[in-house]
Structure 1
Amino acid sequence: MAKLKPLYGVVSLHFAQEQKRTISESIKTVQSLSYDNAWYSSLFSLGEAESFSDIIMGFIGNWVIGFVILYPFAVLYYALWAAPWSVYEYTAGAADLVPGAVAYAACVVVMCLPLIVLALTFYLLIRHYGPQLQAAAQQAQARRHQD
Structure 2
Amino acid sequence: MIGEFKDFIAKGNVMDMAVGIIIGAAFTAIVSSLVADLINPFIGIFTGGIDFSNMFVVLGGGEYASLTAAQEAGAAVFAYGSFINAVINFLIVAFVVFMLVKMVNRVKEAAVKPDDVAPEVPTGPSELDILIEIRDALAADRKAS
The answer, yes or no, to whether TM exceeds 0.5 is: no
Q: Which has the higher helix share?
A: 1
Q: TM (normalized to structure 1)?
A: 0.32
Structure label with greater radius of gyration: 2
